[in-house]
Amino acid sequence: MATYAARRLADMAENTATIVGIELLAAAQGIDLRKPLKSSPELERAKAQLRTVASFWDQDRAMAPDIAAAKALVQSGRLQGLAAF
């Protein structure tokens, strides 16, 4: 049973990275729509990192490339250390 669970872990991590990437895109879009208001410095830095790979949605376009870019950003580890717990 443990072997099967270990094999499934990679799929779960992949799915989680996708979900976190989508959530990051949605949060960044929401913050941008509320300009000139700003979020915390940590979240602004995370948003700036995201905006290097996915731009603001100011017109209709396919979301898949932005989701893939956000997922890759999450998996890269470049966002680690931005959130203080």
- At residue 5, the pLDDT reads 79
**Is the pLDDT reported for residue 47 higher than 80?**
yes
Torsion of CA 7, 72, 29, 66, to 10 degrees: -100
User: What is the token pair recorded at 30?
Assistant: 């929401």
How long is the chain?
85
- At residue 84, the pLDDT reads 59
Q: What are the distances in angstroms from CA 51 to CA 5, 45, 77?
A: 35, 10, 16
Tell me the whole-structure pTM to 2 decimals.
0.85
Give the mean model confidence (pLDDT) for residues 34-46: 92
What does the mean pLDDT of the chain come to? Answer: 91
- Assign 10 to helix, strand or coil: helix
- Least Cα distance to 82 among 37, 54, 41 occurs for 41
Asked whether the beta carbons of 58 and 52 are under 8 A apart, the reply is no
- At residue 6, the pLDDT reads 79
List, for residues 64-85, the tens digit of each pLDDT value: 999 999 999 999 999 888 765 5
Give the mean model confidence (pLDDT) for residues 38-64: 93
